[in-house]
Structure 1
Amino acid sequence: MNSASDNPLFRIADFSVMYPGATPLSHLDLTIRPHEITCILGKSGCGKTTLLKALGGFIAGNAGGGIFFDGDRLTGPNRHSVMIFQENNLYPWLTVKGNVAFGLRFSAPGLSRQQRDKRVGAMLETVGLTESAGRYPHQLSGGMRQRTAIARALVADPRVLLLDEPFSALDISLRRRMQGLLGQLWRETRMSMVMVTHNIEEAITVGHRIIVMGGQPAAILLEQDTGAAEFGDRYSNAFLQLQQHIESIIY
């Protein structure tokens, strides 16, 4: 996976976020390693999404600490990161192809139409939507809409994919298919991903590293590597024991 000499992708140092009447994050210290899928778990309201948005540069911390990307302090939206939310936020007036192509308007404005079409076509093939390129969002299943959102994010060629509960609205069968797609995309690209989820099984299945958050303000309760082969089988003793251990920490 990664060697011990790898520099952190993100370094969260003494990072605090305070709102009137609430402090979701206080003096948080954490590192996110590159080329891994990092899953963040915790109860609702423990600051998971706040942290994810901060990694994207959409939430600024209070004085004293900071978030560093590749050693540089984040001072605004991180152009190297793309976020995918639970709601896929597709444009209903655009086709699947049009939605995916929209991701190139700002990331690669200099591409010719032929270059853009080639890149979009390759991405649609990657996520299995070639035959649905001309459909509109209302004509798609939930999984197809989420695959379109993922394709729109990936076509921009980001270094980091930030995912906020991307599969929570899907039924279990479709959810597992989407988990498999995410794993396939990682094996093909080795892209760094950070995913917030409430689903412990999903975190162990998809992630190479799990971070469990809890408390008010949030603290890091557990950091666990899950990339070993023993966690590849959701019915193995190692998998089930870790799942139970995380449940005992969160609940």
Structure 2
Amino acid sequence: MLTHTQPWDAFRVEHLSVDYGGRPSPIKDLSLDLRAGEVTCVLGKSGCGKTTLLKALGGFVQAEPSGGVLFRGHYLRGPTPEIVMIFQENNLFPWLTVSQNIGFALKFRPPPGAGKKAAIRQMLDTVGLADAAHAYPHQLSGGMRQRAAIARALITEPQVLLLDEPFSALDVGLRRRMHVLMHDLWQRTGKTMVMVTHNIEEAILVGHRVIVLGARPARVLFDADTRAPDMRDRYAPAFLDLQKQLESYID
């Protein structure tokens, strides 16, 4: 496993309020720390500000002057190639093959060293799509399309992956295979990942930490470490106890 990012690369959310141009914002005066090199999963009821928080972490929404988001010790003033966001819809270009879709990202951030073709081959191997390199998106399953989207994000070697319900459209079997992929990717890269999800089981299985946000304004209701081996077994008593506890905040 590669060396993880250092603690000073973590996000720090300080009294964050999001400027919605005069419209009510779900986030007002929110503060929390997100540790580097961890997978943090964010749960909460619809409308509580989960996606708004994710967009703020990516520099895609404007914070009010009273606070903001620090990344690597500096306030984010806009998007940066060090932080990449993956959405529920994979947004692959239908007229490009898997290899071409992945390689498209390199137009904006060319790879060092061996070059574009080698970087694409390595990324295809990483996400298990080597045999689908020349396929088009319509020829792929939902899980394969999402793997291609993740590969396109990873190939630019960002420090952080932000994921907004990336597996919500997949059936149970595919979701669980994607959970394994997420764990394998983290084992290989040690990247900081923040994932929004409505699925409690997914949050426990994928995350090292689970945060529950309450709504209007967003606030941290619950914050738990989920690194214990029992948290990788959905039938373990500790897993089921935590699942029940999280349900009490969301139901």
- Aligned residue runs from structure 1 range 1-251, under 5 A: 6-7=7-8, 9-19=10-20, 20-108=22-110, 115-251=115-251
- Maintained 8 Å contact 1:8/1:31: no
* Superposed displacement of residue 60, structure 1: 1.2
Q: Equivalents in 1 of 2:63, 2:157: separation in Å? A: 27
1:18 to partner: Cα distance: 4.1
Alpha-carbon offset, residue 23 of structure 1: 2.0
Listed one character per residue, the Cα deviations across residues 167-224 of structure 1 (whole Å, up to 9, x for unaligned) are: 0000000000001101000011111100000000000000000110012111110111
The alpha-carbon deviation at position 22 of structure 1 amounts to 1.5
Which residue identity is paired with 1:17?
A: V
The answer to whether the 8 A contact 2:37-2:191 is kept is yes
Partners of 1:79 and 1:115 in 2: CA distance? 19
Of the structure 1 ranges 124-133 and 20-29, higher mean CA displacement relative to structure 2 is found in: 20-29
**Amino acid across the alignment from 2:163:** L
Distance in 1 (CA, whole Å) between partners of 2:72 and 2:41 is 20
Cα root mean square deviation, aligned = 1.7
AA matched with 1:72: H
Distance in 2, matches of 1:95 and 1:123, equals 14
Deviations 1:114-166 (A, max 9, x none): 71000100110111111111111111110110010001011111110000000
- What displacement does 1:21 show? 3.9
Q: Structure 2: which 5+ runs fail to align? A: none
Write the letter of the residue equivalent to 2:204: I
Runs of at least 4 residues off by over 6 Å: none
User: How far apart are residue 8 of structure 1 and its match?
Assistant: 5.6
Gaps of 5+ in 1: none
Would you say the 8 A contact 2:14–2:32 is kept in 1?
Answer: yes
Report SS of the residue matched to 2:239. Answer: helix
C-alpha displacement of 1:7 = 3.1
Q: Percent identity?
A: 56
- Counterpart Cα distance in 2 of 1:78 and 1:248: 37
Check conservation: 1:204, 1:210, Cα contact below 8 A.
Answer: yes
CA contact (8 A) 1:8 1:32 kept: no
CA-CA distance at 1:249 after TM superposition: 1.4
SS at match of 2:168: coil
* TM-score between the two structures when normalised by the length of structure 2: 0.94
SS of 1:7's equivalent in the other structure is helix
Give the superposition deviation at 1:230.
2.1
Q: Distance in 2 between matches of 1:195 and 1:245?
A: 20
The alignment partner of 2:48 has SS state of coil
**Number of aligned pairs?**
247
The one-letter amino acid of 2:242's match is L
